[in-house]
């Protein structure tokens, strides 16, 4: 399977604990996105990377959230001091934008998500 993978698929944690999620994009995809989806809502953009550079962060991404993509391949999303309001599905997506057209619209392919429950 060469799709986007995410690990873990489910995470239950207690309030105040730190959690880290991993996303492995489709090989050769240069863009990687993180979204958050709460029950009954559409996904909301959190942040994205072009190769290893983090180019935009949403206002939703508080100081407790940090994301990295150190070698331009996999990415991690860490949440420190989790709160009950952080409970959601965290989605990762990747896309390929051609080198000569970095500003074109890309098609994003989503992973299965990591469901976080904060008790």
Partner 1 sequence: GDSVTQMEGPVTLSEEAFLTINCTYTATGYPSLFWYVQYPGEGLQLLLKATKADDKGSNKGFEATYRKETTSFHLEKGSVQVSDSAVYFCALSSSGTGNTGKLIFGQGTTLQVKP
Q: Provide the binding-site residues for partner 1, judged by CB under 8 A.
A: 4, 31, 33, 35, 40-45, 48, 55-56, 91, 93, 95, 97, 103-113
* C-beta of 86 vs 106, nearer to partner 1: 106
CA–CA gap between residue 59 and residue 62 (Å, rounded): 7
Provide the terminal-to-terminal Cα distance of the chain, rounded to the nearest Å. 33
According to DSSP, the β-strands at 19-24 and 65-68 are unpaired
Whole-number minimum distance, CB 45 to partner 1, in Å? 4
According to DSSP, the β-strands at 10-13 and 114-118 are parallel
CA–CA gap between residue 3 and residue 25 (Å, rounded): 7
* C-beta of 68 vs 80, nearer to partner 1: 68
* C-beta of 82 vs 95, nearer to partner 1: 95
Whole-number minimum distance, CB 93 to partner 1, in Å? 8
């Amino acid at each position: 399977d060469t799709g986007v993978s995410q690990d873990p698929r489910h995470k239950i944690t207690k309030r105040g604990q730190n959690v880290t999620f991993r996303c492995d994009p489709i090989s050769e995809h240069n863009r990687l996105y993180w979204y958050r989806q709460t029950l009954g809502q559409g996904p909301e953009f959190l942040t994205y990377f072009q190769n290893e550079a983090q180019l935009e962060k949403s206002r939703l991404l508080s100081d407790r959230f940090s994301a990295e993509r150190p070698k331009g391949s996999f990415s991690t999303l860490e949440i420190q001091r989790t709160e009950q309001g952080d409970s959601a599905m965290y989605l990762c997506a990747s896309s390929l934008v051609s080198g000569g057209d970095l500003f074109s619209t890309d098609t994003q392919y989503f992973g299965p998500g990591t469901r976080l429950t904060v008790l």
